[in-house]
């Protein structure tokens, strides 16, 4: 059984970065809870969060807990900040003394790649150390491979739009990367009717299924075949629309 330790940045009296009424501590907790939910549905993996409520464990406590638990990978989740709408994108930080291109570096690089490819975040790359001092404590004090992931800039309207509109994709791509980091394959749960893969069935999905029924679009049978008759028809589109509007489950 592999163990993944996830650290929602900040919390409690440590708000982190803030912008236009939103705070880093809230964004990171919401995202990490979703990642835990996704990983908990996978096989051969256990997940622990440094916090699941609005608390602020000491950085040393977070690292020590992961070490004591015997985590195979540690990932701290944050949101970046600079000046309003002057920077954008996602980046990931590792311990300054790791080898470039080594195992820890490659794992972090892959997590970031999956995140950016799935969501459209600008890929700002793998960084070593910390912006204004030698290393982040969560990277310096952990015994296992670790990284600190900055999921976009909280003071970027563009990044906030991505964070909110692609929240499910963000969580899933990070979950995939974390599974890869411990040598496991992430198994995607198929939601019948969810053609665009955003985690829910909407009117947009129904339109795609209708287009597929007349040959104007390609939709996988496993997601578009609502009535499970082996083919995609207008009836499937009607079924998806009923699900989207709450008339059917």
pLDDT of residue 203: 92
Name the phi and psi angles at 70, rounded to 5: 80, 40
pLDDT of residue 190: 78
Give the residue-averaged pLDDT of 141-152: 98
Q: Is 126 helix (H, G, I), strand (E, B) or coil?
A: strand
Domains of the chain, start order? 2-181 (3.40.630.40), 203-244 (no CATH)
Give the residue-averaged pLDDT of 219-230: 90
pLDDT of residue 225: 92
Q: Which residues of 95-125 are buried (b: 16+ CB within 10 A; e: fewer)?
A: beebeeeeebbbbbbbbbebbbebbebbebe
pLDDT digits 0-9 by tens, 8-55: 999 999 999 999 999 999 999 999 999 999 999 999 999 999 999 999
pLDDT digits 0-9 by tens, 153-197: 999 999 999 999 999 999 999 999 999 999 999 998 778 889 887
pLDDT of residue 85: 98
Q: Whose CA is closest to 198, among 175, 167, 229?
A: 167
pLDDT of residue 79: 98
Instruction: Give the bridge partners for 5, in sequence order.
Output: 48, 74
pLDDT of residue 155: 98
Q: At a CB cut-off of 8 Å and minimum separation 6, what does 134 contact?
A: 96, 140
94 and 104 in contact (C-beta within 8 Å)?
A: yes
pLDDT digits 0-9 by tens, 88-128: 999 999 999 999 999 999 999 999 999 999 999 999 999 99
Residue identified by tokens 């411990």 is 182
The better pLDDT of the pair 190, 145 is held by: 145
pLDDT of residue 199: 76
The better pLDDT of the pair 198, 182 is held by: 182
pLDDT band per the 50, 70, 90 thresholds, residue 249: confident
Phi-psi region of 48 (alpha: psi -120 to 50; beta: other; left: phi over 0): beta
pLDDT of residue 246: 87
pLDDT of residue 24: 98
Whether the pTM exceeds 0.85: the reply is no
Report how far residue 77's alpha carbon sits from residue 79's, in angstroms, rounded to the nearest whole number: 7
pLDDT of residue 175: 98
Q: How far is CA 154 from the centre of its chain?
A: 15
């Amino acid at each position: 059984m592999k163990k993944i330790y996830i650290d929602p940045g900040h919390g409690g009296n440590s708000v982190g970065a803030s912008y236009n009424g939103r705070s880093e501590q809230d964004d990171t907790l919401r995202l990490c809870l979703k990642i835990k939910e996704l990983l908990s549905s996978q096989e051969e993996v256990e997940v622990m969060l440094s916090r699941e409520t609005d608390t602020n464990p000491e950085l040393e406590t977070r690292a020590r807990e992961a070490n004591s638990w015997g985590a195979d990978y540690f990932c701290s989740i944050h949101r970046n900040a600079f000046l309003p709408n002057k920077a954008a994108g996602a980046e990931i930080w590792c311990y300054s003394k790791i080898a470039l291109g080594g195992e820890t570096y490659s794992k972090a690089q892959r997590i970031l790649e999956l995140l950016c490819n799935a969501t459209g975040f600008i890929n700002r790359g793998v960084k070593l150390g910390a912006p204004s001092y030698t290393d982040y404590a969560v990277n310096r004090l952990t015994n296992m491979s670790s990284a600190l992931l900055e999921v976009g800039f909280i003071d970027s309207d563009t990044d906030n739009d991505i964070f909110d509109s692609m929240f499910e994709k963000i969580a899933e791509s990070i979950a995939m990367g974390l599974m890869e980091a411990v040598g496991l394959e992430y198994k995607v749960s198929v939601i019948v009717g969810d053609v665009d893969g955003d985690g829910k069935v909407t009117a947009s999905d129904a339109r795609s299924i209708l287009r597929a029924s007349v040959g104007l679009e390609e939709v996988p049978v496993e997601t578009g075949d609502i009535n499970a008759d082996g083919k995609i028809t207008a009836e499937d589109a009607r079924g998806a629309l009923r699900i989207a509007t709450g008339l059917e489950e």
